[in-house]
């Protein structure tokens, strides 16, 4: 099961990265870009659990809480994307939408930072995969809106591939490949 969640992370990352060319071709907040974002958010909301499961022993309850925060942040992002698709209005118009955006930002961005630190210390995922996980945070400083989606996707593609293919630094006891099927 963990391998398939890893594949789901890889797929979610590829779809998220698909937002970059669709934004360039059809424009920012176009239907194809938002569709990629919605699908990616839904996959990320489910499959982010893989980041915790492969290093559960090393990250403990704090790693679980961080993974849940990322999952909630992605689920709320999916709701926000759906709202933009339905209404065509990207900005928050009510207090509840503003609070929701704050919670999803803390969940996704804060969770990505904390999970990257925990993953670095756990030494289960390869270091380059952990660097890719945190690459979305400095990408926020790039003034081009469409580049953030590429780095957000990259942060799922690389660790997702490592989980799917069993390319871990530390093997989990009890299985030959390090992760259960």
pLDDT in tens, 127-144: 999 999 999 899 888 887
pLDDT in tens, 162-178: 999 999 987 554 343 44
- Over the chain, what HEC string results? CHHHHHHHHHHHHHHHHCHHHHHHHHCCCCHHHHHHHHHHHHHHHHHCHHHHHCCHHHHHHHHHHHHHHHHHHHHHHHHHHHHHHHHCCCCCCCHHHHHHHHHHHHHHHHHHHHHHHHHHHHCCCCHHHHHHHHCHHHHCCCCCHHHHHHHHHHHHHHHHHHHHHCCCCCCCCCCCCCCCC
Instruction: Report residues of the chain scoring pLDDT below 70.
Output: 89-93, 171-181
pTM of the model: 0.88
């Amino acid at each position: 099961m963990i391998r398939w969640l890893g594949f789901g992370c890889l797929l979610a990352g590829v779809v998220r990265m698909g937002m970059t060319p669709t934004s360039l071709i059809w424009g920012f907040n176009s239907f194809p870009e938002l569709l990629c974002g919605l699908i990616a958010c839904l996959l990320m909301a489910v499959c982010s659990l893989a980041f915790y499961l492969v290093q559960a022993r090393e990250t403990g309850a704090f790693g679980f809480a961080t993974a849940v925060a990322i999952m909630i942040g992605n689920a709320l992002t999916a709701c926000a994307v759906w709202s933009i698709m339905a209404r065509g209005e990207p900005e928050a118009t009510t207090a509840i939408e503003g609070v929701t955006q704050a919670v999803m930002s803390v969940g996704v961005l804060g969770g990505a930072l904390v999970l990257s630190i925990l993953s670095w210390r756990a030494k289960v995922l390869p270091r380059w995969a952990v660097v890719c996980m945190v690459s979305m945070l400095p990408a926020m400083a790039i003034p081009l809106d469409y580049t953030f989606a590429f780095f957000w996707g990259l942060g799922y593609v690389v660790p997702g591939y490592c989980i799917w293919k069993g390319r871990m630094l530390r093997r989990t006891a009890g299985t030959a490949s390090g992760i259960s099927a």
